[in-house]
C-alpha cells in the first residue's frame, strides 16, 4: 500500500509538539511493515534543511485568490529518516524560521495545500491513501472532491487524524477567494458555525477520521471546542488509535542527549547520574524527589495553575520536593513561573523556551513528571517518562487515562488525579513524596516495570493499516 502523509510538522525536520513526533515516526514503522509511506510537508528554514542534500522533483505554479505563486517540491536524497520526505517550497510564504504564529498562517497553509493537490494531480499514478494530520492539511479532502482543478484526485481515499481539536484553523467567509474554484453547492462541506473551518471540513469530507486515543474520541463527543455535534454525527467513521513512541529516538540505553545511559537493570544508578547533572545545572537538591513539567505553557496543559500548585505544594509539604519546569507559551504563565522561581530559589527552577536536549535529560533525570492537563488527546510525555523510568503524575483525561495506571491499583505504576486543580496537584505531590521516601521497594519495582511497557509504534502502525484497508478498493 502506498500512503502519503501530509503534515505541517515532522520530527526532526520541524517540530512544535506531539504532531511532529507522530509524523516523524509512524511512516517509518509503516514502511517496516512492508508498505510505502511518504511524508509531504512545507519547507521551513530549519537546520535540517541546510544540513541535508535535496533533489528537485517538481516545479509548478498556482493561484490562491489574487495571489499567483510558484512552488517547487524537493526530496531528501538518502531517505535518512526511514521514509521518503518531500518539502514544498513557496517563496516568501513557507520558508520562514517558525512553523506557525504568523498573521498570514491561513494564507500560508491554504497555498501549501493547493500546491500539494496540484503536484499530486500531475502524478502518473495514484497513491492508495492520503493521510492528513490536523487542520493545516484539513482542506485537502475537500479540495480532492470539490475543486474543479483536482477532480482527478476525487477517488483517492483520505484519512484525517485529529491530534488536537482545540485548534481548528477557522477563517471568515470573506477569505473564501483564497481557495481554488470549487462546486459552490458544496459550500456546506467547508462551513461550521458561519466560518470556513478546516478541521470540521476534514471531518465531513475524509473517508475515515482518527483521534490519537480512544478516550479522546469519547471526550470529543461531549466537548470539542464547538464541533462536538459533528463528531457525534460522524462517529460511525471515526476510531481512536493510541500514538506510539519512536523507540529508536526515545531509548535511555542509547540516548546521546543524556548524561548516562541505562536500562532497567541499571535504572537506579543511571537515573541518579542524570539527576545529579540536572540538579547541578539548576541548583536543586539531588536528595529530594524531583518533579518536572515539560510542555507548552497553555491552558490546555493547565500550566496556568502550575505556579500556585507549586507554591501550595512547597508550603504543605515543607519543601520536601523540588520542581523543574521546561516550557514556553503564554507570557503571563511564564512570568508567574519566574516569580515562583525567585521566591523559592533552591526549590524551584525553570527553563523558559524550547530545548529538545534538555527535555531528554529531564525525562532521564527526573523522579516524577507532572501532567495536570485539562485536555490531552494522547500525550507523549508520559510515555517517554515511562520509558525512562520516571513516574508519571497525570490527570485522568484522554490518552493519559489510557496509558497510566495509579499505583493504588493492581500493578499500577503512576499517580492519577481527577481534577486540574491546585488541591489535586498538591495532594498528588504528597503521594509522590511518600512513595519516594517511605515506599522504596514499591518505587524501585514501579520504575523497572514501567520501562518494559511497550508503547512502540508496532501495534498502532498496524491498526492504521487496517483503517486504510477498510477504505481502499
Ligand atoms: P502537544 O503536542 O499537545 O504539545 P504532546 O505530549 O503530544 O503535547 O507532545 C509534546 C512533545 O513536545 C514532547 O516530545 C515533548 O517532549 C515536547 N516538548 C514540549 N515542550 C517542549 C519544550 N519546551 N522543550 C522541549 N521539548 C518540548
- Residue in 8, 11, 16, 18 to alter for ligand 1 test, most ligand atoms within 8 A of Cβ: 18
pLDDT tens track for 148-164: 999 999 999 999 999 99
Q: Is the pLDDT of residue 246 over 70?
A: yes
> Radius of gyration (Cα) for the chain, nearest Å?
23
Q: Is the CB of 375 under 6 A from ligand 1?
A: no
Query: pTM, whole model, 2 decimals?
Result: 0.92
Q: What is the model's pLDDT at position 293?
A: 98
Give CA 33 to chain center in angstroms.
Answer: 23
pLDDT tens track for 24-70: 999 999 999 999 999 999 999 999 999 999 999 999 999 998 999 99
Backbone dihedral region for residue 302 (phi beyond 0: left; psi -120 to 50: alpha; all else: beta) = left
By C-alpha distance, which of 161, 181, 232 is closest to 9? Answer: 161
Q: What is the model's pLDDT at position 175?
A: 97
Cα dist. 211→132, 136, 237, 251, 399 in Å? 12, 16, 11, 26, 10
Q: How far apart are CA 355 and CA 378, in angstroms?
A: 21
Q: Is the pLDDT of residue 248 over 80?
A: yes
Quick check: 427 and 420 in contact, CB under 8 A? no
Burial of 464 (0-12, 13-18, 19+ CB in 10 A): buried
Burial of 471 (0-12, 13-18, 19+ CB in 10 A): middle
- Residue in 212, 359, 382 to alter for ligand 1 test, most ligand atoms within 8 A of Cβ: 359
Q: Is the CB of 354 under 6 A from ligand 1?
A: yes
Grid cell, residue 82, equals 526511514
Q: How far apart are CA 6 and CA 379, in angstroms?
A: 21
Rounded mean pLDDT of 132-137?
98
Q: What is the model's pLDDT at position 22?
A: 96
Q: Is the pLDDT of residue 371 over 90?
A: yes
- Report residue 2: phi and psi, to 5°: -105, 125
Residue 351 CA to ligand 1 centre (angstroms)? 14
Domain ranges across the chain: 2-244+457-472, 267-450
pLDDT tens track for 293-311: 999 999 999 999 999 999 9
Quick check: 417 and 425 in contact, CB under 8 A? yes
Query: Comparing 2-244+457-472 with 267-450, is the CATH topology the same?
Result: yes
Grid cell, residue 158, equals 483520505
Reduced to 3 states (helix: H, G, I; strand: E, B; else coil), residue 133 is strand
Q: How confident is the model at residue 201 (pLDDT cuts 50, 70, 90)?
A: very high
- Kindly give the pairing relationship between strand 348-352 and strand 290-297: unpaired
Q: What is the model's pLDDT at position 469?
A: 97
Q: Is the CB of 381 under 6 A from ligand 1?
A: yes
- Residue in 24, 294, 376 to alter for ligand 1 test, most ligand atoms within 8 A of Cβ: 294
Q: How many residues are there in the chain?
A: 473
- DSSP β-bridge partners for residue 86: 40, 75
Q: How confident is the model at residue 473 (pLDDT cuts 50, 70, 90)?
A: low
Grid cell, residue 3, equals 500512503
Quick check: 456 and 202 in contact, CB under 8 A? no
Q: Is the pLDDT of residue 218 over 80?
A: yes
Quick check: 433 and 321 in contact, CB under 8 A? yes
Which ligand 1 atom sits nearest the alpha carbon of residue 359?
25
Mean pLDDT, rounded, of the chain: 97
What's the first-to-final CA gap in the chain, in angstroms?
11
pLDDT tens track for 387-430: 999 999 999 999 999 999 999 999 999 999 999 999 999 999 99
According to CATH, what is the number of the domain 2-244+457-472?
A: 3.40.50.2000
- Report residue 162: phi and psi, to 5°: -90, 105
| DSSP state letters, 256-287 | TTSSS---STTHHHHHHHHHHHHHHHHT--TT
Q: What is the model's pLDDT at position 417?
A: 98
Q: What is the model's pLDDT at position 288?
A: 98
Give the residue, by CA position, lying nearest to ligand 1 atom 18. 295
- Kindly give the pairing relationship between strand 54-64 and strand 67-76: antiparallel
Backbone dihedral region for residue 99 (phi beyond 0: left; psi -120 to 50: alpha; all else: beta) = alpha
Q: How far apart are CA 63 and CA 255, in angstroms?
A: 45
CATH topology of domain 267-450: Rossmann fold (3.40.50)
Amino acid at each position: 500500500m502506498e500512503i502519503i502523509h501530509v503534515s505541517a510538522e515532522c520530527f526532526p525536520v520541524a517540530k512544535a509538539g506531539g504532531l511532529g513526533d507522530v509524523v516523524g515516526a509512524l511512516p517509518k514503522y509503516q514502511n517496516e511493515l512492508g508498505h510505502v509511506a511518504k511524508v509531504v510537508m512545507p519547507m521551513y528554514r530549519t537546520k535540517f534543511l541546510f544540513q541535508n542534500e535535496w533533489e528537485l522533483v517538481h516545479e509548478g505554479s498556482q493561484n490562491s485568490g489574487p495571489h499567483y505563486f510558484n512552488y517547487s517540491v524537493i526530496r531528501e536524497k538518502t531517505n535518512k529518516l526511514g521514509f521518503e520526505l518531500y518539502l514544498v517550497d513557496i517563496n516568501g510564504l513557507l520558508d520562514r524560521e517558525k512553523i506557525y504564529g504568523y498573521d498570514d498562517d491561513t494564507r500560508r497553509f491554504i497555498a501549501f495545500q493547493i500546491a500539494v493537490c496540484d503536484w499530486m494531480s500531475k502524478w502518473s499514478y495514484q497513491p492508495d491513501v492520503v493521510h492528513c494530520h490536523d487542520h493545516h492539511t484539513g482542506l485537502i479532502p475537500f479540495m480532492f472532491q470539490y475543486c474543479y482543478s483536482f477532480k482527478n484526485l476525487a477517488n483517492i481515499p483520505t484519512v484525517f487524524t485529529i491530534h488536537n481539536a482545540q485548534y481548528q484553523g477557522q477563517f471568515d467567509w470573506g477569505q473564501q477567494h483564497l481557495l481554488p474554484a470549487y462546486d459552490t453547492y458544496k459550500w456546506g462541506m467547508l462551513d461550521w458555525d458561519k466560518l470556513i473551518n478546516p478541521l470540521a471540513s476534514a471531518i465531513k469530507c475524509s473517508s475515515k477520521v482518527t483521534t490519537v486515543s480512544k478516550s479522546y474520541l469519547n471526550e470529543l463527543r461531549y466537548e470539542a471546542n464547538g464541533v462536538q455535534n459533528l463528531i457525534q454525527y460522524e462517529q460511525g467513521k471515526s476510531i481512536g488509535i493510541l500514538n506510539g513512541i519512536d523507540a529508536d529516538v526515545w531509548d535511555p540505553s542509547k540516548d546521546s542527549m543524556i548524561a548516562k545511559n541505562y536500562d532497567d537493570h541499571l535504572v537506579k544508578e543511571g537515573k541518579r547520574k542524570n539527576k545529579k547533572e540536572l540538579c547541578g545545572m539548576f541548583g536543586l537538591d539531588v536528595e529530594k524527589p524531583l518533579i518536572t513539567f515539560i510542555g507548552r505553557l497553555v491552558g490546555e496543559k493547565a500550566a496556568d495553575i502550575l505556579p500556585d500548585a507549586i507554591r501550595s505544594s512547597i508550603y504543605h509539604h515543607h519543601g520536601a520536593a523540588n520542581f523543574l519546569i521546561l516550557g514556553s507559551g503564554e507570557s503571563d504563565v511564564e512570568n508567574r513561573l519566574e516569580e515562583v522561581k525567585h521566591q523559592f530559589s533552591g526549590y524551584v527552577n525553570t527553563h523558559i523556551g524550547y530545548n529538545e536536549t534538555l527535555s531528554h535529560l529531564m525525562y532521564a533525570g527526573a523522579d516524577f513528571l507532572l501532567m495536570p492537563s485539562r485536555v490531552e488527546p494522547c500525550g507523549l510525555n508520559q510515555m517517554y517518562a515511562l520509558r525512562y523510568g520516571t513516574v508519571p503524575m497525570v490527570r485522568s483525561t484522554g490518552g493519559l487515562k489510557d496509558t497510566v495506571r495509579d499505583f493504588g491499583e493492581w500493578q499500577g505504576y503512576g499517580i492519577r488525579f481527577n481534577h486540574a486543580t491546585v488541591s489535586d496537584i498538591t495532594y498528588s505531590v504528597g503521594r509522590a513524596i511518600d512513595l519516594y521516601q517511605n515506599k522504596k521497594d514499591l518505587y524501585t519495582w514501579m520504575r523497572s516495570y514501567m520501562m518494559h511497557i511497550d508503547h512502540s509504534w508496532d501495534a498502532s502502525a498496524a491498526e492504521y493499516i487496517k483503517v486504510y484497508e477498510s477504505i481502499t478498493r
